[in-house]
Amino acid sequence: MADRLYAGGEDYQKEFHPGDYLRTYYAFDSGPVAENEILKFNLENLFQTFSAGGVGGDVLIDIGSGPTVYQLLSACEAFREIIVTDYLEQNLRELQRWLSGEPGAYDWSPAVQSRWREKEARLRKAVTRLLQCDVTKPHPLEPAQVPPADCVLTLLALESACPDVAAYRAAVRALVGLLKPGGHLVAMAALRSQHYMVGAKKFFGLHLEKETVEQAVQEAGCQVLRCDHRRLSYSEACSINEGVCFVVARKGPAP
């Protein structure tokens, strides 16, 4: 049914198809301009954070990775080990296909301007684990055991997974709980979301204001170092939102 709004665990398991998601949002130059603009916004902010901005260390955990790796292209230069996670087996399988270089795995080479082979090898080496996660749980990665992270990264996942703002705040707290003191939370959100399309299926998106994101991060015990807020929106056929924000925060009180 085209008009049904899918939300929550079981819907994701049955209806979220990684191939449809990738073709909709990561078609690069052949895709809609708005989607490419948001991808560019993310790649630039990720580069600024991990390559120029000095956020680095031993362990980075990416929460709600989906079937994508673009978010790790700068981070793999700054961390010894990357743990990717998602709610869905099918997304983890898609990631594993790319990591193993299987035929038919998604082509991420257009996301990098030069020396793709080196970048690909570096990222494949950095990713050490693929874990199931559920951000609606207080310990999203249990029963897996993970070391306290130097960085927790999450893009476009919490507003898909959380049914309301209270759940969103709890999820941010749970993510901050995975960090070492002094570690960094790096979070990107689509603002004022209503829904997003995966193929012909419509999935729920939580309405978040920029202030809600910043407050949730602060209430979880982090200091916001940077918040890049732009009036970028997806093309209407793909998603309804107004604006995006990219937040870099540090766990611990303000100095």
Rounded Cα distance, 126 and 1, in Å: 41
With CA atoms as reference, report the closest residue to 180 among 24, 87, 61, 8: 61
Q: Are 151 and 223 spatial neighbours (Cβ–Cβ below 8 Å)? A: no
Q: Among positive and negative, which fits the CA dihedral 51, 56, 59, 62?
A: negative
CB 134, min distance to ligand SAM, A: 5
Q: Are 152 and 186 spatial neighbours (Cβ–Cβ below 8 Å)? A: yes
* CB closest to ligand SAM, residue no: 66
Residue among 69, 88, 187, 245 that touches ligand SAM (CB under 6 A) = 88
Residues near 31 by Cβ (< 8 Å), separated by ≥ 6?
24, 25
193 binds ligand SAM (CB under 6 A): no
Is 135 annotated for ligand binding? yes
235 binds ligand SAM (CB under 6 A): no
Q: Is 189 exposed, middle or buried (0-12, 13-18, 19+ CB in 10 A)?
A: buried
Name which of 242 and 252 has its Cβ closer to ligand SAM: 242
161 binds ligand SAM (CB under 6 A): yes
In this structure, the strands spanning 195-198 and 239-240 are antiparallel
Is 21 annotated for ligand binding? yes
CB 99, min distance to ligand SAM, A: 16
CB 117, min distance to ligand SAM, A: 24
Name which of 118 and 144 has its Cβ closer to ligand SAM: 144
Is 70 annotated for ligand binding? yes
Residue among 64, 73, 82, 83 that touches ligand SAM (CB under 6 A) = 64
155 binds ligand SAM (CB under 6 A): yes
Residues near 170 by Cβ (< 8 Å), separated by ≥ 6?
136, 138, 162
Is 64 annotated for ligand binding? yes
Only segment of 44-52, 53-61, 144-152, 155-163 that touches ligand SAM (CB under 6 A): 155-163
Q: What angle do CA 146, 63, 115 make, to 5 degrees?
A: 100
185 binds ligand SAM (CB under 6 A): no
- Phi/psi zone of residue 106: left (φ > 0), alpha (ψ -120 to 50 degrees), beta? beta
Which residues of this chain interact with ligand SAM, rule CB under 6 A?
12, 16, 64-66, 68, 71, 86-88, 91, 133-136, 155-157, 160-161
